[in-house]
Amino acid sequence: MSADRGYILPPPTLLEAIRAVEALEQGHWRTALDLAPQLGQLGSAVRWLALSMRERAHGLVDESWQSLAAAADCPAERRSRLRTSGPGDRTTLPWPSRAGDEFWRSFGLVGQREEFHARSQWFRIEDSSYPKRTCLVESCVDHLTWVFFDHSTWRAPQAGEGLAVGDRVTRGKLGEAGREYFLCRANELFHSVCPLRGSITRKVWDDLGAYRGLHEAALTALAERDDRQTAQVVQRVAHRSAVAWAQQASLGCRPIGEPVIQCDHISSTDA
């Protein structure tokens, strides 16, 4: 592939590698994980970035960041054993930027996009006057942009496809208006940013207005997001779909999953 890297890939493998990084660009981490074992040395980079995205979908933010750092470290001539405790430590992740190498250029752009979103979320929580509330809203935003609007979340398992025991995306009460589901995701975020400040409890959930209030806050936050700093690479399909939904004013007042109704037909007791 690249002479300075010493890789000599036959065309079919090169095509599969580019296909894998295109899948990551769109957010199809399952496809990338399936392709990674076929890609030789490049498969390690694909696998780490796909694992980071999978863990993010599961709400495992610390694990996701460490996998992202491992992915950034893969292109180095010698692994630097990059040490980083999280997005807040401001450690620079060494993404490749090779104009003449399609795979590494695209890979680096996708990695930078995921790093940008992880760091932006961290600083939104850190700078918040009410970090517990912000974490709960961010957990719902992640649910919408990583799970609910990801079409592959809802497809039937393929023949021979196994599900990991710890797969939070395809097991359990996914998609229900379950308080514990969102509190669990929110506490993963909160303990990552504020490890010594206790846990998020039902009171925060109730103060936000439970399921409906939480989704309204998440949709409002999504509609106001500015993705111009990641304009060099497209956003994930699920992210784009969630933002488009949030920006539709006529739908922004109701939680995901409820029937489409006119908001002026809702009585005060129903709300």
pLDDT tens, position by position, 149-176:
988 877 766 665 555 545 555 444 444 4
The rounded Cα 200 to chain-centroid distance in angstroms is: 21
pLDDT for residue 269 is more than 60: no
Annotated domain spans of the chain: 7-119, 128-153+173-257
pLDDT for residue 200 is more than 90: yes
Going by pLDDT thresholds of 50, 70 and 90, the confidence category of residue 267 is: very low
Tokens 């739908």 label which residue?
251
**Portion of the chain with pLDDT greater than 70, in percent:** 73
Average pLDDT across the chain, whole number: 80
Which pTM value belongs to this model?
0.81
DSSP 185-209: HHHHHHHHH-TTS----HHHHHHHT
Cβ neighbours of residue 249 closer than 8 Å, sequence gap 6 or more: none
